[in-house]
């Protein structure tokens, strides 16, 4: 969807008005609509729909895990070239964009957050790539067929909350059993199941805005064993 078209709820308009295009620090070949600060944007988003219980604006930042995984895919395109890719918890769409730039045959971005879906569409357009989208909660029924048949699941920074991490691991385990590969970018969040993962690469990732506890986050790319 080109930006602004079919934006009846105003999500794309809101994203464009509250962010600006910036190159991703670890992947400067990709530019994303990002915000400088999380909290003011979070408040504006909540005011927009009069709901103070909203999740943070994850879509407005390139998270350390996503940056590392995008860098990995850009530097080692053989992991995705010609493949059908699921970018789970896509946020800004960073990882999916990297996969497309590296020659993925198709990429579907999954994120239930409507602002993330608007950001993904704007960012895809900004980077001249096509991304498909689903807002369905794929984690609710991990054994169900995916909306697009896929070869590989890419996961940028999804192990930051315990219940979500458990659902992601169950989903990836089911997909792995069905023959898909699963790659994860993660800076060692609290609920990363390291005992189930094989480390593939490591990067020093410049932190997104004021969101992290260090200016450079050591961040690894992992494969589900
Ligand atoms: C920390 S952000 C990571 C975004 C992006 N992958 C990156 O690395 O920059 C986590 C994202 O997961 C999404 N998310 C939360 N629950 C989800 C679910 N059940 N299925 C898919 N995505 C989900 C959030 O909306 C958010 O965009």
85-132 pLDDT, tens per residue? 999 999 999 999 999 999 999 999 999 999 999 999 999 999 999 999
Residue 3 lies in a domain: no
Within 13 Å, how many C-alpha atoms sit on residue 116's CB side? 27
> DSSP letters of 27-63?
EEEEEEEE-S-HHHHHHHHHHHHT-TTPPP-GGGS--
Most distant CA atoms of the chain, gap in Å: 45
Percent of residues, the chain, with pLDDT higher than 90? 76
pTM for the whole structure: 0.93
Q: What is the CATH number of the domain that holds 84?
A: 3.40.50.150
- pLDDT of the residue at 36: 81
Q: Distances in Å between the alpha carbon of 93 and those of 45, 53, 89, 175?
A: 19, 24, 9, 21
Is the pLDDT at 3 greater than 50? The verdict is: no
Residue 92 lies in a domain: yes
Residue 207 lies in a domain: yes
Q: Which domain holds residue 66?
A: 11-224
Q: Distances in Å between the alpha carbon of 177 and those of 53, 127, 158, 172, 211?
A: 36, 33, 20, 8, 35
Residue 4 lies in a domain: no
Residue 53 binned pLDDT confidence (cut-offs 50, 70, 90): low
Q: Is 91 in the pocket of ligand 1 (CB under 6 A)?
A: yes
Residue 39 binned pLDDT confidence (cut-offs 50, 70, 90): low
Alpha helix locations (H) across the chain?
Answer: 11-17, 38-49, 64-75, 94-101, 114-126, 162-177
Backbone angles phi, psi at 204, to 5 degrees: -100, 110
Find all residues with CB under 8 Å of 13, minimum gap 6, and list them. Answer: 4, 7
For range 182-200, the mean pLDDT: 97
Please count the structural domains in the chain.
1
Cα of 159 vs centre of ligand 1, distance in Å, is 10
Cα of 122 vs centre of ligand 1, distance in Å, is 17
In 3-state terms, what secondary structure has residue 11? helix
Cα of 89 vs centre of ligand 1, distance in Å, is 3
Q: What is the rounded distance in angstroms from the CA atom of residue 152 to the CA atom of residue 219?
A: 20
Residue 6 lies in a domain: no
Is the pLDDT at 4 greater than 70? The verdict is: no
Residue 49 lies in a domain: yes
Residue 2 lies in a domain: no
Find all residues with CB under 8 Å of 57, minimum gap 6, and list them. Answer: 35, 38, 41, 42, 45, 115
Residue 133 lies in a domain: yes
* Average predicted confidence (pLDDT) for the chain: 91
- pLDDT of the residue at 9: 75
Q: Is 94 in the pocket of ligand 1 (CB under 6 A)?
A: yes
| Mutation pick for ligand 1 pocket among 57, 94, 111 (CB with most ligand atoms within 8 Å) | 111
- pLDDT of the residue at 203: 98
- pLDDT of the residue at 26: 97
Percent of residues, the chain, with pLDDT higher than 70? 92
């Amino acid at each position: 969807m080109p930006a602004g078209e079919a934006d009846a709820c105003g999500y794309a308009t809101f994203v464009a008005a509250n962010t600006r295009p910036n190159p991703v620090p670890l992947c400067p070949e990709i530019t994303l609509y990002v915000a400088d600060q999380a909290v003011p944007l979070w408040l504006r988003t909540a005011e927009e729909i009069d709901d103070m219980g909203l999740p943070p604006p994850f879509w407005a930042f390139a998270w350390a895990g996503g940056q590392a995984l995008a860098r990995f895919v850009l530097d080692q395109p053989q992991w995705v070239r010609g493949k059908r890719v699921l970018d789970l918890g896509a946020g800004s769409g960073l990882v999916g964009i990297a996969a497309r730039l590296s020659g993925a045959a198709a990429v579907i971005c999954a994120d239930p957050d409507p602002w993330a879906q608007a950001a993904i569409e704007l960012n895809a357009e900004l980077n001249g790539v096509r991304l498909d989208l689903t807002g369905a909660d794929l984690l609710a029924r991990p054994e169900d067929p995916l909306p697009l048949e896929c070869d590989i699941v890419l996961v940028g920074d999804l192990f930051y909350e315990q219940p979500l991490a458990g659902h992601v691991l169950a989903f990836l385990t089911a997909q792995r059993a069905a023959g898909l590969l699963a790659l994860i970018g993660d800076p060692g969040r609290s609920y990363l199941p390291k005992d189930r993962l094989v480390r593939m690469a490591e990067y020093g990732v410049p932190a997104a805005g004021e969101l992290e506890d260090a200016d450079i986050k050591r961040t690894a790319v992992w494969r589900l064993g």
